[in-house]
Structure 1
Amino acid sequence: MNNNRDIIVRLREHIPSFECTPGCHDCCGPVTTSSEEISNLPVKTDAEHDAALEDFTCVHLGPNGCEVYDDRPLICRLFGTTPNMACPNSCRPKTMVDPDIEDQVHNYIANTRQVLV
């Protein structure tokens, strides 16, 4: 049986990437993520979390964009790759994510302990 880390790696491999509109951070709101995924992210202070929530942004959003882009959670990776989570600037990969992979991401999220990033 695969453990959660193996599932994360497998799903990440199947989520396509694409170029975003420079300066856009529409997908960088507060999100939840699994304990496994957050363990790869830098620890932020309560004050940093409070400030991000007040601005309704992600605590890992810096002045030049996502500061944890390579380790960003599955939900962040899925944004813009599916019609169900379309980019408001119409950015998208050449090939959208397979609906089965999208379902597996949502299933993973629904069946793991989620914490606020």
Structure 2
Amino acid sequence: MKSNGEIIARLRDQIPTFECKPGCHDCCGPVTTSSEEMLRLPVKSDAEHEAALNEFNCVHLGPNGCTVYGERPLICRLFGTTPRMACPNGCAPKEMVDPAIERQVHHYIANTRQVLV
């Protein structure tokens, strides 16, 4: 049986990347992520979480975009790579994520303990 870390790494490798519009953060709202992924992110204070939630933003959204881009959760990586989570600005990878990989991401999310980022 594979560890959550191995599953996350495999899924990350299968999700295509693409260029966002500079200054856009339409996908940077509060999301839930697995405890395993949360452990990879810097700890934020309750006040920082509250301030971000009041603005419907992710606590890791900074003035220049995502401050944890390299470690962003699977759900953030999936945004814009599938018609079900299309970018409202029309940005997308050359090839969308394989539907089987998208299902595996959602299966992982549904079957792991989730916490609010």
The one-letter code of the counterpart of 1:52 is: A
Shift of 1:53: 0.3
Q: Which residue of 1 aligns with 2:94?
A: 94
TM-score (norm: length of structure 1): 0.99
Distance of 2:55 and 2:87 partners within structure 1: 20
The one-letter code of the counterpart of 1:80 is: G
2:61 matched to 1:61?
yes
Aligned residues: 117
Distance of 2:73 and 2:53 partners within structure 1: 18
Q: Does the residue aligned with 2:27 lie in a helix, a strand or coil? A: coil
Distance of 1:24 and 1:63 partners within structure 2: 11
Distance of 1:28 and 1:89 partners within structure 2: 14
Shift of 1:62: 0.2
Q: Does the residue aligned with 2:6 lie in a helix, a strand or coil? A: helix
1:52-80 superposed Cα distances (whole Å, 9 cap, x missing partner): 00000000000000000000000000000
Runs of 4+ off more than 6 Å = none
Q: Does the residue aligned with 1:33 lie in a helix, a strand or coil? A: strand
Q: Which residue of 2 aligns with 1:34?
A: 34
Distance of 1:65 and 1:3 partners within structure 2: 30
Q: Does the residue aligned with 1:51 lie in a helix, a strand or coil? A: helix
Distance of 2:3 and 2:43 partners within structure 1: 23
Structure 2 residue runs of 5 or longer lacking an equivalent are: none
Distance of 2:107 and 2:90 partners within structure 1: 26
Equivalent pairs: percent with the same residue?
77
RMSD, aligned α-carbons: 0.3
1:74-102 superposed Cα distances (whole Å, 9 cap, x missing partner): 00000000000000000000000000000
The one-letter code of the counterpart of 1:88 is: P
